[in-house]
Structure 1
Amino acid sequence: MSTETFEFQVEARQLLQLMIHSVYSNKDVFLRELVSNASDALDKLRLAALRDDSLGADLSDLHIQIDVDPEARTLTVRDNGIGMSYDEVGTLIGTIANSGTAALLKELEEAQDEAGAEGLIGRFGIGFYAGFMVADEMTLVTRRLGESGGTRWSSRGEGTYSLEKVEDAPQGTSVTLHLKPADPENQLHDYTSPWKIREIVKRYSDFITWPIRLVPQPGDGEEAAEPETLNSRKALWARSREEVSADEYHELYKHVSHDWRDPLETIRLQAEGTFEYQALLFLPAHAPHDLFTRDFRRGLQLYVRRVLIMDDCEALLPPYLRFVKGVVDAQDLSLNVSREILQQDRHIRMIQRRLTKKVLSSVKEMKANDAEKYATFWREFGAVLKEGLLGDPDNRDAILAVASFASTREGDEPTTLQQYVERMKDGQEHIYYLTGESRQSIENSPHMEVFKARGVEVLLLTDPVDEVWVDAVGEFEGKQLRSVAKGEIELDVQGGDQQDGAREEQDESYAGLLEWMKEQLGEEVKDVRLSTRLTVSPACVVSDAHDLTPALENMYRAMGQEVPVTQRILELNPDHALVRGLRQTYAEQGKDRAELAETAQLLHGLAVLAEGGQPKEPARFVKLVAERLERTLR
């Protein structure tokens, strides 16, 4: 049969060269990846046979076989799984672009240490090409179930690969690595050594369902004449807790998540009764870089009676738990099931409810028993977990129980809503909060002034989702959640009362100025009134109690939604010298108040800037400031 030669993409060639010539502290991962690919092929064959018995698949001895030839320096990983067609080889093996080549190349180049570079192999899912770390050439021979002919693929990792149709290929796939010359000074990486193969399989692939057999070679010193099964073949989630070590859990996590770090927490669940299933879940120690992107791949591996059904089953957990990794092995689901059917399957919905509660209860236990581990979890995943306050009302109380927030109380430790309520001052009716881009910007906001002066605690909310969930939740233990930047503030706490008579007299003395300023500012404001929240700043802008905040308006517009511009309220501090002077000048100038009108514009612009906004006409505002400064220097 004729052989065709193809070129890798430019980025793929660069990637291969990096992988071949970079020095890794642990190259053993190549065998883990090849065995994993073989296991997937066997899973797919068994599933195909169960769905369609007319395929005539031989299920009598499904296995993975490893052959080593020390003299020829070759290592071969074989399986009698589903195999690949000629087109599938070209698509799945001949192309690396599907794995995000450009992103991987950039991160490999930026990896400064061996461990960091090594971890990227599993992270980007290009395990087949990991073989080039130890081999000068790789050859793949495969035949797909139901086809009479096979395909041979080969490459030296130097920019090209060849494809050839062959007639004598057995069903399944074999990958042969022509290993690099042996290093006499480093026998730890002799991949033709049986003990080395045993070590790698035990460490990385012991949980795989299918037998992994090592075929001894004549003269290698092994007494056994029959192939030796290297793995226990018992999935970790099916073994008792006492039988499984932490290292085994960690390796399974790395296998299903493509993360090179150990998980933060391991969660086991076994449901018995009318519907049985087992779950082994992991909470990562770090948030993936694409957690908040649309392309983030979420979901758990779904097995039915140890047969892999789906790699990323999104229906098993709600979107706000998309960072959780792991496997679920159910006993009674139909094997012939699609993603659409899964969304409606009552058993799947039952599993989702149970897993969700289990994850939240595990986080609650972590919070109670391991403050450091909880702090790591909340720092990495708190923002995404709070999305559940919007989309999962059934578990809202459970989420609030594990949520923590920065606040103005002394010390840097975050607080829970329960702790906040317990510390509320006598007479305080509401839970106060303020949203913003950063803690520093919130603490410096003029809206906070009276709360600082009265010693009233305020929650400091800096995640984008905080703009939304506070309105959805509304209250906690009968205490309303109130933004200090919305509505009117009446602090009925000890030491904070203002005499009604004095307030009425003050309102009356400013009535004319307030009405005049509202006319001057026109559509820029909904109203102008005296403030009860300012103690230092001359003015601030606030939203009405039920209006959208500017940040929320911008969020909706970024999502393509039409949102009308909301008029804000300008509040003046009647005790500030600038505002008192403004009132006096207004009273003295009569009808000729042109310069005073400029002052009103400047005061409004400064209030908008103070909350992180931008004046409606920035150029005009800057011109007014410059002219006013110029006049002060004359």
Structure 2
Amino acid sequence: SEHYEKGLQLYSKGVFIQNKNKDLIPDYFKFVKGLVDSSDLSLNISRELLQHDRQLKKIASHLEKKIKSELENMLLHNREEYITFYDTYKITLKYGMYEQFGLNKEKIQDLIMFKSNKSDDYITFKEYLDRKPETQKNIYYATGKSKQSILNLPQMDVMKDQGFEVLLFTDEIDEFMIQVLGAYNEIPFKSIQQGDLDFIDDIKKEDLKSKEKENKDILKAIKKALSEKVKDVKLSARLKDSAVCLVSGEGLSMEMEKVLKQMPNQMDVKADKILEINPDHDLFKALVKIYEKDSDKISSYASILYHQALLIEGLPIEDPTEFSNNLVKLMIESAK
């Protein structure tokens, strides 16, 4: 059970000393049950002295290495059995990576697995690197409530086109864990929902700059209308079929913001949201025409775009009344 109380029974020369010794195994291996019988421990040792006993620390270190070795062996030679184990205890392992500012991350990282946009099967970080293109500079990941919700993200379009594999993070701990890990074998982790993408070619970048310059007035107007909601509004290099998406700046992500706000003592934290618009989408072309005819209308359309992007990201609509009123207004105008 995931909620099994940590600790091993401790014996000395067959004589019972303690029922649940919590110092024998680390928290990330708390699921291990059993007993330890050592001939090197004093029968008269107190619980207080046990915590500082050198022999006990040696036993604990040996146990940790042995448990890790057994799990690695299971992963390598009995994948199905390991997956059954992993589905039950993956959260414990992931917390072990995150706790104490990643102190034990290198001990556990090779036991961690994720599913991806290319496979229904779990893969390790090593397996990801073994099959990535040599030119790929990052280990890409995306976060969401479920595999399907992540696969439906607009940001996935460009990853499919590039043929890049994306790890799917569906547990709340995942992104916190990966922030602590930082990189694997010196290859950094990169969210496709944060910051700029590093593989956009120079021609695409120049084309985007040209379009942003050409449409600077409407982008400025949309940004002004959403000034209290987003940090920036820009044309997107990552969108293909979708009209709009929200990404966060470097640092706190929108998924991390959601998790932190659910905590008992709610933290007043906000990710820097950036609204990205597809310059080649018919919707943006329609917005440009509307802005040229009547620039005052852009505020309502900007609000609809923003709330649409929130819904796509699985975030709650901040002002349902405003969203509803703007939709009604749009439908009435389209009927005229």
Is TM > 0.5 for Structure 1 vs Structure 2?
yes
Establish whether residue 511 from structure 1 lines up as the match of residue 245 from structure 2.
Answer: no
> Do the aligned residues in 1 keep the contact of 2:146 with 2:170 (CA within 8 Å)?
yes
Preserved contact between residue 470 and residue 481 of structure 1 (Cα < 8 Å): yes
Q: Say if 2:247 is the partner of 1:539.
A: no
Matched with 1:550 is 254
Aligned positions of 1:200-599 closer than 5 A = 288=1, 291=2, 296-391=4-99, 393=102, 395-409=104-118, 411-491=119-199, 498-546=203-251, 548-557=252-261, 558-560=263-265, 562-586=267-291, 588-589=292-293, 592-599=294-301
Per the TM alignment, residue 308 of structure 1 is displaced from its structure 2 partner at its CA by 1.8
Greater RCO (CA < 8 Å, at least 6 residues apart)? 2
* Cα distance change, pair 356–455 in 1 and its aligned pair in 2 (3 A): same
Q: Distance in 1 between matches of 2:174 and 2:104?
A: 17
**Shift of residue 431, structure 1, vs aligned partner:** 0.6
The structure number with the bigger radius of gyration is 1
Q: Which amino acid in the other structure matches residue 203 of structure 2?
A: Q
- Structure 2 match to 1:632: 334
**Partner AA of 1:441 in structure 2:** S
Cα displacement (A) at 1:430: 0.6
1:314/1:526 CA distance change after superposition, 3 Å: same
TM-superposed deviation, 1:395: 4.6
User: Does the Cα contact within 8 Å between 1:446 and 1:611 map onto a contact in 2?
Assistant: no
Residue 455 of structure 1 aligns with an amino acid whose one-letter code is G
Matched, 1:612 2:314: yes
The residue type paired with residue 614 of structure 1 is P
Match of 2:304 among 602, 611, 615: 602
Question: Do the aligned residues in 2 keep the contact of 1:491 with 1:497 (CA within 8 Å)?
Answer: no
Q: What amino acid is aligned across from residue 349 of structure 1 in structure 2?
A: K
Counterpart of 1:552, as a letter, is M
Indicate how the Cα distance of structure 1 residues 576 and 322 shifts in structure 2: closer, same or farther if over 3 A, else same: same
Write the deviation string for residues 25-75 of structure 1: whole angstroms up to 9, x where unpaired.
xxxxxxxxxxxxxxxxxxxxxxxxxxxxxxxxxxxxxxxxxxxxxxxxxxx
SS in 1 for 2:34: strand
SS in 2 for 1:480: strand
Deviation at 1:503, TM superposition (A): 2.9
1:563 offset after TM fit, Å? 3.5
Cα distance between partner residues in 1 of 2:36 and 2:264: 34
Change in CA separation of 1:342 and 1:549 when aligned onto 2, cut-off 3 Å: farther
1:621 maps to what in 2? 323
- Alignment-mate amino acid for residue 322 of structure 2: R
Structure 1 residue 478 displacement after superposition: 1.8
Residue matched to 1:97: none
CA distance in 2, matches of 1:561, 1:516: 33
* Offset of residue 436 of structure 1: 1.6
| Aligned residue-pair number | 334
Contact 1:537 1:576 in 2 (8 A): yes
Alpha-carbon offset, residue 482 of structure 1: 0.4
Kindly state the Cα deviation for residue 453 of structure 1 after the two structures are TM-superposed: 2.1
Task: Kindly indicate which of the two structures has a greater share of residues assigned to helix.
Answer: 2
Gap change, CA 1:459 and 1:399, over 3 Å in 2: same
Cα displacement (A) at 1:432 = 0.3
* Structure 1: stretches of 5+ with no match in the other structure: 1-287
User: Structure 1, residues 130-165: CA drift from partner, whole Å, max 9, x if none?
Assistant: xxxxxxxxxxxxxxxxxxxxxxxxxxxxxxxxxxxx
SS at match of 2:59: helix
CA–CA distance in 1 between the matches of 2:88 and 2:17?
30
Distance 1:553 1:341, change over 3 A: farther
**8 Å contact 2:260–2:269 — kept in the other structure?**
no
Cα distance change on mapping 1:524 and 1:373 into 2, 3 Å: same
Distance 1:438 1:551 in 2: 13
Q: Give the match's secondary structure for 2:198.
A: coil
TM-score (norm: length of structure 2): 0.91
* Alpha-carbon contact 2:10-2:17 (below 8 Å) kept: yes
CA distance in 1, matches of 2:10, 2:329: 69
The alpha-carbon deviation at position 402 of structure 1 amounts to: 2.4
- Unaligned stretches of 5+ in structure 2? none
SS at match of 1:616: coil
Residues 312/504 of structure 1: CA separation in 2 closer, same or farther (3 Å cut): same
Cα displacement (A) at 1:347: 2.9
Q: 1:353 Cα shift?
A: 2.1
Could you say what the CA RMSD is over the residues aligned between the two structures, in angstroms?
Answer: 2.2
Give the partner amino acid of 2:117: T
Once residues 55 and 320 of structure 2 are traced to their aligned partners in structure 1, the CA distance between those partners, rounded to angstroms, is 58
Identity of aligned residues (%): 35
Q: Describe the SS at the equivalent of 1:413.
A: strand
Instruction: Give me the whole-angstrom Cα distance separating, in 1, the residues matched to 2:120 and 2:49.
Output: 48
Q: CA deviation at 1:581?
A: 1.9
Is contact 1:490-1:532 (8 Å) kept? no
Deviation at 1:445, TM superposition (A): 1.2
